[in-house]
Amino acid sequence: MRARLSHVTIPVLDQDSAKAFYTEKLGFEVRNDMTIGELRWLTVGPKDEPEVEMVLRKVGPPEYDEETTAHFRDLIAKGVIGVGVLHVENTRATYERLRQAGVTFVQEPVKRPFGTEAVFRDDSGNWFSLNDSRG
C-alpha cells in the first residue's frame, strides 16, 4: 500500500476559538469551513503545506454520548492530549514570535539529541512539540 497523510484530527473545545488560535496566532490558513448536516467541517493548515489539513473537530454529539464528551473535554482542557510535532526551521525564533502572539508555552526551547524543542498548548489545551533539527 502506498499512502500519504492528508488530514489529522485535533479535538477542540470550541471551533470558533480554535479557528482564531490557529489562524491568528500560528498563522495557518483556513482550508474548509462548512456545515455538513450536524457536522461543522473546519480545517486549517500551514500556508506552505497545502496538502496537509488539520481538522478542528469539536468534541461532542453525535460522535460521543454526554458522559464520554464530558470526560474527553476534561482531558483536553487539562492538557494531557499531545497532538503532534510541528517541525520548523528555527525553534528559538518561532518560539519568540509565537510567545509574543500570545501562545502559551509549557516548555521553553531546550537542546535535545534530535534538535531544539519547545512545547506549547493550543487554546483548548492540546499540546504540540515545536522543533527543528539544529543541535
pLDDT value, residue 44: 98
pLDDT value, residue 4: 82
Among the listed residues 84, 73, 87, 67, the one whose alpha carbon sits nearest the alpha carbon of residue 8: 84
pLDDT in tens, 25-65: 999 999 999 999 888 999 999 999 999 999 999 998 877 88
Contacts by 41-45 with C-beta closer than 8 Å and gap 24+? 42/15, 42/18, 43/7, 44/19
Query: Which domains does the chain show, CATH number per domain?
Result: 7-131 (3.10.180.10)
The alpha carbon of 120 is separated from its chain's Cα centroid by a whole number of angstroms, namely 9
pLDDT in tens, 5-16: 889 999 999 999
pLDDT in tens, 75-96: 998 889 899 999 999 999 999 9
Distance CA 53, CA 12 (A): 15
Answer whether residue 134 shows pLDDT above 80: no
Answer whether residue 135 shows pLDDT above 70: no
Distance CA 72, CA 62 (A): 14
Q: What is the pTM of this model?
A: 0.92
% pLDDT > 70, the chain: 99
| Cβ burial, residue 40 (10 Å; 0-12/13-18/19+) | middle
